[in-house]
Amino acid sequence: MSIDLHTHSNFSDGTLTPTELVTLAKKKNISALALTDHDTMAGVEEAVLAGEMLGVEIIPGIEISVLHDKVEYHILGYWADPRNNVLAEALAKLQGARSERNNRILQKLNELGIPATSGELERVSEQGQTGRPHIAKLLVRYGVVKTITQAFDDFLKKGAVAYVSRFAFTAIEAVTLIHQAGGLAVLAHPTQNDPEFTRLPSVLADLVPAGLDGLEVYYPTHSHKMKKKLRALAAQHNLLLTGGSDYHGDIRPGTTLAGGGNIFVPLELLVKMKERVALQR
């Protein structure tokens, strides 16, 4: 039986509600699930309630987009307290930056002759946090593009005609925020923008002294060779191993939760994480 420590709901850029996500986890025989929405923990309470009803252990989580040496990375946080004032203020700042970017992207699209409005964007988003994936959905609805991927390629990714950057904390700041709120900090999908491991050793040299707790080793795009290298780096720096599917729902066709042929994440990783967080509290 697998666990899954990296998932998203419609409180950020996933397509399932937290309850629907936990229900799917139960169906897939996932014994423990972490909800790690982008820059928000607003869906965690619903996920915990659903987990209690369905018998799935829910780990409160978050995924924070960060910068390190001008390169974007993602830091996963586990068991951080969303009521922590410092963390809550930091997340409010990030959400404000997302809102500002959305408005600037819409302005660029309007200048390109696409009459998208903030009201339409809110209806696409429905609840929680709104971001570029929702704008991509809006572009599909307008018939400007055929797919979410094409929306990013033609309009929304870095360097595209409607791309707008936004404020981000540094990786070290994010690690510190998560620790202040009583959580563990893990570097997500470390090979996503560094498949040759050219930057990762120096990134770890900076982040481990700052308190980084773990590496996401088990991930759908990590080959056996990559996992072997990541396990060696984790052992070198006394880092925890974590893993997850990064499931977003049908916004990414062909993906699913951990388990089966997608990715298997062993339960013993969670046991070691719990031991580490207990020592740090």
Tell me the pLDDT tens digit for each residue of 101-153: 999 999 999 999 999 999 999 888 776 778 898 899 899 999 999 998 899 99
Tell me the pLDDT tens digit for each residue of 192-244: 989 999 999 999 999 999 999 999 999 999 999 999 999 999 999 999 999 99
Task: Provide the pLDDT confidence category of residue 260 given band limits of 50, 70 and 90.
Answer: confident
What's the pLDDT score for residue 200? 97
pTM score above 0.85:
yes
Name residues whose C-beta falls within 8 Å of residue 92's C-beta, 6 or more positions apart in sequence.
none
What's the pLDDT score for residue 122? 86
**Between 88 and 130, residue with greater pLDDT:** 88
Average pLDDT rounded to a whole number, residues 169-183: 98
- CA-nearest of 94, 19, 70, 73 to 215 is 73
Cβ of 237: how many Cβ atoms within 10 Å?
16
Name residues whose C-beta falls within 8 Å of residue 157's C-beta, 6 or more positions apart in sequence.
163
Question: What domains are defined for the chain?
Answer: 4-90+167-280 (3.20.20.140), 101-156 (no CATH)
Task: For residue 85, report the phi and psi dihedrals to the nearest 5 degrees.
Answer: -60, -40
Region of residue 189 (left: phi > 0; alpha: psi -120 to 50; beta: else): left
